[in-house]
Structure formats: C-alpha cells, structure tokens
C-alpha cells in the first residue's frame, strides 16, 4: 500500500443521530426512478402508465445521448408518471409485485469478454448511469476511456454510513465490479480507503491501486482524493463510482441481472431508531420513517445534511444516495438570537460560547441563521477546503462568468459537494454549491 495521505483541513460537524449497526429489511412496495437525479439528462419515456415492468426493463433514455438507458429497479407496474412545473418529468412511480422477476442480461466473466461487450451490458441493464465522470460530475461519457477510475471506500460526511459495515459479505460482487471497471479503464482503478478501515473486502481487493487517507471531512470526498493522488488537468477524464454501485455491477456480471439492492442508513437527530435498512434503489422512505420520527416540523433529506436533496416523507431515495437524514426545520424567529451568548449554538468560529463545550453533539436545524450578504469574511473557506485551489476566487470567477479564469483556477477538479463545507461555514450565507453547479454547466456548454 502507498503512504497515507493526511488531509488536515476540513471539519467533522458533530451531529447526533448516527445509525446503529443493525439491519432491517425494508418492505417497500412503492418505488420511483427520478430523472432529476441525473444532471443534464433530458428523459424520453419508453413506458407509459399501467405498463408491466421487470427489474431491468428500460424506462427512458437521454435525449442528448440516446444510447444511455435508465431501467426499473424492481418488477411490477408503472403506476404514475409524475410531472412537475413546465411538464418536467419528476418521477416514474412503480409498484412492486414482490416477485422480483428480472430481465436476463446474461452472466459473464469480465476477463473473457471485450470492452465493447462490457459497455453494452452496462448500458442495457441501466447500470451505466451509476458511473459518473469528472469534470462536470455527470454520467460518464460512453465515448471516453478515462485516465483512471476512483472509488471512495469511506464517507466522512456528517452521520454518513459505514462502508465497512455495508460491504461486509459482499466481497465477491465487489471484486467482480472492480474487475469490470479495471477493464474499462485499462487497469487504472483506484480504491481510496480510510486509514482506519478493517474491511478485508477493501484491504485485499485485487486489480486496484490502494490509496489510504486520514483526516476530517471531506477526506472521504472522491474529488479531494483525486486532487491529492492524481489531479485532473484540462482535457483529463476521470470516472468515479461509489462502493454500492461497484457491487451492483458485480452482481450484473455474476448473476446476469440488475439487482438494485442497496443498504441505506437512516440517520438524524429526529429519528427515534436510527439504523440500517436493506432495500432497493428508488424505494419510498415512508416505511422507514413512519412511526420512527419525533414530533414537529421535519426535513427529510435523501443523502447527507450537506449535499442531500430535500424530499417529502413519502418520497423516494435518490439513485446515488446511501443514507436518509431527518432533521428539524428551523422555520421560526429567535429573539435577539445573534446577540445571545450562544452556549448551545454550534459554530466553527469561537464567536458563540459553545467553544466551552467542544465535545458536545448537536441537533442542528435548517435555519439559515442569518441574512444573505456580500462576501465580507476571508480565510473561512480555506480552513475547510483541502485542495490547492483558491475557493473564494473560483466562486467569484463563476459569479462573473469568466470562463478562462474558472479553468485556470481549477474548475475541472471540483464538484458542488466539495464546496459543501464552505457553504456551511459561510458568514454571508451564499448558496455556494449552486454557484459551483452553475459554473460546471457553463463550462460543459462552452466545451461541447
């Protein structure tokens, strides 16, 4: 193994509500595929309401890259095609028939078939969209061979699930998934592990370059890892994929079917019994949270508190998410809140007296804690942004849309999640992740 990369800058936000390491099977009958999970995809439907589908049946394709297909995670019936404002396709809802019948894509040994056949299998099964690329943080382009593939084998985000626990017992599938990716990338698969991992599935993985990391969040962000191992330069393409998606690929090649099983952590201060659930991609979270959350106005998040998507209590898991977080809404006024001593107010600065209790854990709510202002403070972002990139300068370059400067300042290396902590600590309450996404989309249009 290589030396340990020590990430020094960053922040572990001390939240209450970690998932207890026990499994429960989630009996969900309601599922959905949300085209809005896929950045830059304009869906063209292949099914209509009432159609019977199997796990792996094509649901829609991307208008701009027609070969990329999206498939059903379960067998059952399409109950509703839900559209939002301007007829935006929001959800394709599927009611499971519990038979779990699957389309047969044929098992295969990745060593024995060609790269083209592998790609074809991944496209056909609808698993391809689980592979994403840098720059732009979008679904990997079919026409490219990446410089490398990176898999982050740990998540440092607040309340994040433990991948050692998730991967346990799935070593064979995981290894087959790696073999597939290795073939796609000419052998350059990086498995980026935590220095604390004990999972033999990771430590004894073959066909990979093992890189070890230590330090606070965002050490587990794949973008930070790439930056420290082999940074992305202009023109480079790197693919990234999460651990559970590697396992999904492994199952496809070993069993010949799209098995959408995932393990999801239910976390957050408002969950009565935070724990892990075995379910499938796109499952409704209602069976998880019904009678399992505290009273009050709550926010349900598919993903973590820094980067996740707000959903309703009866809504569905995001395709890339391995956790659900429930926290209190902060939609109330607080009398002279900014002037109080603030013993219970969490801040990375020492402007509130909460610095007296450094080990306290918090149940933070969604209040913005202030009004939106122009950038005034400096040096805040640098403390939580472990890359050799000037975050404030890059953000400003995006705001005034200077393409050349954005490129020079390293826009190809980042995605919104890398700026989540900057957004958290920002005194000016700027929507930084939104700005980064806007910058990436601008670059993508400019370069295509």
Site for another protein in 211-240 (CB under 8 A): 231, 233-234, 236
Residue closer to another protein (CB basis): 248 or 325:
325
Nearest of 166, 132, 165, 163 to residue 150 by alpha carbon: 132
What is the rounded distance in angstroms from the CA atom of residue 31 to the CA atom of residue 190? 33
Among 19, 432, 440, 443, binds another protein (CB under 8 A): 432
| Edge-to-edge strand ranges of the sheet holding 138-139 | 4-6, 209-214, 189-194, 148-152, 238-242, 132-134, 138-139
Nearer to another protein, 74 or 411 (CB): 411
Cβ burial of 119 (10 Å; 0-12, 13-18, 19+) is middle
Nearest distance, CB of residue 155 and another protein, angstroms: 16
* Cβ proximity to another protein, 79 vs 367, nearer residue: 367
* Number of residues engaging another protein in binding (CB under 8 A): 73
367 binds another protein (CB under 8 A): yes
Instruction: CB nearer to another protein: give 23 or 355.
Output: 355
Residue 434 interacting with another protein (CB under 8 A): yes
CB 192 within 8 A of CB 156: no
Quote the distance between the C-alpha of residue 430 and its chain's center. Answer: 22
Q: How far is the CB of 366 from another protein (least distance, A)?
A: 4
379: left (phi over 0), alpha (psi -120 to 50) or beta: left
Give min distance, CB of 379 to another protein, in A.
Answer: 6
Exactly one of 59, 414, 425, 443 binds another protein (CB under 8 A); which one? 425
What is d(CA 204, CA 448) in angstroms, rounded to the nearest whole number?
Answer: 40
Distances (CA, A) of 313 to 161, 292, 301, 327, 443: 20, 11, 9, 12, 35
Q: State which of positions 38-77 bind another protein (CB under 8 A).
A: none
Among 215, 220, 318, 410, binds another protein (CB under 8 A): 410
Q: Which is nearer to another protein, 116 or 339 (CB)?
A: 339
- Closest distance of CB 196 from another protein, Å: 25
- If one asks whether residue 375 binds another protein (CB under 8 A), the answer comes out as yes
* Interface pick for another protein out of 51, 90, 120, 382 (rule CB under 8 A): 382
Region 298-337 residues binding another protein, contact defined as CB under 8 A:
299, 301, 305-308, 310, 325, 327, 329-337
Report yes or no: 70 and 61 within 8 Å, Cβ to Cβ: yes
Q: Which range binds another protein by CB under 8 A, 43-51, 54-62, 214-222, 402-410?
A: 402-410
Binding to another protein in span 280-299, by CB under 8 A:
299
Q: Is residue 400 close enough to count as binding another protein by CB under 8 A?
A: no
Q: In what order do the strands lie in the sheet containing 309-311?
A: 20-25, 275-280, 261-267, 323-328, 298-302, 309-311
Instruction: Assess contact for 174 and 246: CB atoms under 8 A.
Output: yes
SS3 state at 185 = coil
418 touching another protein, by CB under 8 A: no
- Our CB check for another protein shows the closer of 14 and 67 to be 14
Which residues, including other chains, have CB under 8 Å from residue 242's CB and lie 6 or more apart? 130, 151, 152, 320, 322
Q: Which residue's CB is nearer to another protein, number 211 or number 354?
A: 354
């Amino acid at each position: 193994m290589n030396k340990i990369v020590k990430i020094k800058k960053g922040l572990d936000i001390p939240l209450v509500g970690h998932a207890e390491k026990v499994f429960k099977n989630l009996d969900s009958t309601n599922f959905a595929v949300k085209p809005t999970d896929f950045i830059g995809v304009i869906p063209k439907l292949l099914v209509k309401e009432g159609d019977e589908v199997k796990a792996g049946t094509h649901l829609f394709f991307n208008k701009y890259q027609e070969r990329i297909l999206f498939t059903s995670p379960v067998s059952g019936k399409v109950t509703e095609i839900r559209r939002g404002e301007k007829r935006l396709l929001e959800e394709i809802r599927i009611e499971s028939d519990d038979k779990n019948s699957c389309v047969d894509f044929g098992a295969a040994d990745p060593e024995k078939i060609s790269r083209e056949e592998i790609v074809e299998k991944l496209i056909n099964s609808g698993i391809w969209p689980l592979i994403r690329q840098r720059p732009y943080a979008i679904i990997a382009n079919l026409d490219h061979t990446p410089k490398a593939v990176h898999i982050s084998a740990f998540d440092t985000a607040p309340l994040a699930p433990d991948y050692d626990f998730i991967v346990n017992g799935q070593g064979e599938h995981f290894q087959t998934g790696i073999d597939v990716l290795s073939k796609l990338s000419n052998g350059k698969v990086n498995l980026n592990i935590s220095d604390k991992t004990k999972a033999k599935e990771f430590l004894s993985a073959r066909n990979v370059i093992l890189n070890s990391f230590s330090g606070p969040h965002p050490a587990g962000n794949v973008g930070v890892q790439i930056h420290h191992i082999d940074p992305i330069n202009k023109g480079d393409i790197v693919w990234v994929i999460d651990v559970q998606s590697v396992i999904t690929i492994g199952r496809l090649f070993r069993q010949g079917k799209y098995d959408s099983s995932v393990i999801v952590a239910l976390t957050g201060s408002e969950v009565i019994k935070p724990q892990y659930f075995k379910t499938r991609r796109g499952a409704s979270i209602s069976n998880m949270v019904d009678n399992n959350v505290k009273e009050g106005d709550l926010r349900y998040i598919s993903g973590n508190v820094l980067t996740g998507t707000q959903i309703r209590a009866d809504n569905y898991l995001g395709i890339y998410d391995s956790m659900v977080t429930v926290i209190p809404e902060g939609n109330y006024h607080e009398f002279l809140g900014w002037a109080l001593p603030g013993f219970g107010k969490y801040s990375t600065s020492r402007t509130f007296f909460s610095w007296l209790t450094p080990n306290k854990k918090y149940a933070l709510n969604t209040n913005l804690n202030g009004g939106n202002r122009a950038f005034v403070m400096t040096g805040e972002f640098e403390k939580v942004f472990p890359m050799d990139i000037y975050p404030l300068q890059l953000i400003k370059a995006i705001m005034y849309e200077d393409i050349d400067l954005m490129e020079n300042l390293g826009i190809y290396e980042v995605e919104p999640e890398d700026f989540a902590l900057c957004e958290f600590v920002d005194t000016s309450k700027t929507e930084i992740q939104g700005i980064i996404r806007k910058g990436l989309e601008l670059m993508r249009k400019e370069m295509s």
